[in-house]
Structure 1
């Protein structure tokens, strides 16, 4: 877990693990190389579509909830879903 935004990382992992078929394959990495820190989410084969959802609505909702949790950590984050 990250020291940067522990609440946001925990919330993000919980939400994504509850959506996918293989919750053990979910990983969340913190990338601080950009202008704003990013949480990079990787899921198992075939689960990315479930996380993104139709027209990206599920991903947008996950981003909204995770950013709200990050505000508790006093951090602004980007959330990226990677293959």
Structure 2
């Protein structure tokens, strides 16, 4: 899942080396924290959050076979 998130976000940002994805597993959910360079935050979130919503939609669809709920936090 980390590779999927990274492959989606890398073309959007100016500083691809600053992409950090951490995974936190809890009892009923799996949380991915995406951190990018401060200048790239707006590019990843997009106007009115449209890009962030699209990224989350793809990640959720890719994890549909998982028993745990997937969350993606963008920082």
Deviations 1:14-57 (A, max 9, x none): 11111100111101100124752110000012100000000000
Please, what TM-score do these two structures have when normalized by structure 2? 0.87
From 1, 5, 11, the equivalent of 2:4 is 11
**Runs of 4 or more consecutive aligned structure 1 residues displaced over 4 Å after TM superposition:** none
Query: Where does the alignment leave 5 or more consecutive residues of structure 1 unmatched?
Result: 1-7
Residue 42 of structure 2: aligned partner: 49
Please, what TM-score do these two structures have when normalized by structure 1? 0.80
Query: Aligned partners of 2:40 and 2:46: how far apart in 1?
Result: 10
SS at match of 1:71: coil
Residue 64 of structure 1: aligned partner: 57
Hey, which of these two has a bigger chunk of strand by percent? 2
Query: Where does the alignment leave 5 or more consecutive residues of structure 2 unmatched?
Result: none
Residue 25 of structure 1: aligned partner: 18
